[in-house]
Amino acid sequence: MHAFVGPLHARARAATAEELAGIHWLGALSDADERARAEADILVVEVAAGELLCRVGRPATYWFGVVDGLLKMSSDTAHGVPITFTGVPRGGWFGEGTMIKREPYRYNIQALRKSVVAGLNVDTFHWLLSRSIAFNGFVMRQLNERLGQFIGAREIDRLSDPDVRVARSLAALFHPTLYPGVGDLLRITQQELGYLVGLSRQRVNESLHTLQRRGCIRIEYGGLRVLDLEGLRHSI
């Protein structure tokens, strides 16, 4: 059972000043009215490990970002086989395309661990789009980078070498534009990485030690530090 009781919206609260300071796109809003409305409308909720934040077919009412924790974006094939699109670590915001089209979710978002998630309601999202050049620029960059990420994810799915799969998947999680909150240290367990890559924890462990010997990463307590991002991206 989840550690939290009740629907997400009933558990949501206003964001703290510290949480707002960590939302990078707010800093791009130079207009005081725009920033004030965005800050006032952002809500924050704690999500339990395994809990669904978004579900396929449900209406999209909030644009979400990870304040702390790790989420998984996935869906099921027509045969019921789960497909993981990407992980969403600290600092990542997602679902811009769904927000713009005001369509139901075509994917599930699930917390891999206890996480803190911020949400901006869809009406404020569209209000910012209608008047803020800076916000439009941020959303366009997000969409462009996300497209490239998903194309890369399709390539990863076709790779047979597990070491390369792990390397490319790690590189995606260290994306400086989509996940600026990660920096050079990603807080992730080998089990969580296995869920995202589709490999066992034991096989992920082998790949991580291989990448460490190559000088691409350093395995640290509670996470992974990237030493050579380009080496991860072009690992063969």
Mean residue pLDDT of the chain comes to: 88
Q: Do 215 and 231 touch, CB atoms closer than 8 A?
A: yes
Can you read off the two tokens belonging to residue 142?
């997000």
pLDDT per residue as tens digits for the range 91-110 = 999 999 999 999 999 889 99
Q: pTM (2 decimals)?
A: 0.85
Residues 150 and 164 reside in one and the same domain = no
Q: How confident is the model at residue 80 (pLDDT cuts 50, 70, 90)?
A: low
Domain range enclosing 180: 160-233
> Which residue would you say has higher pLDDT here, 159 or 88?
88
Lowest mean pLDDT among 74-88, 91-105, 161-175, 215-229: 74-88
pLDDT per residue as tens digits for the range 154-203 = 666 666 688 988 998 898 899 888 998 898 899 999 999 998 888 899 99
Domains identified in the chain, total number: 2
The one-character DSSP state at 57 is T
Q: What is d(CA 177, CA 142) in angstroms, rounded to the nearest whole number?
A: 8
What amino acid is encoded at 38 in this protein? A
Q: Which of 106, 135, 154 is the endpoint of a domain?
A: 154
Q: Which of 123, 154, 185 is the endpoint of a domain?
A: 154
Give the CATH number for residue 192.
Answer: 1.10.10.10
Residues 26 and 117 reside in one and the same domain = yes
Give the CATH number for residue 29.
Answer: 2.60.120.10
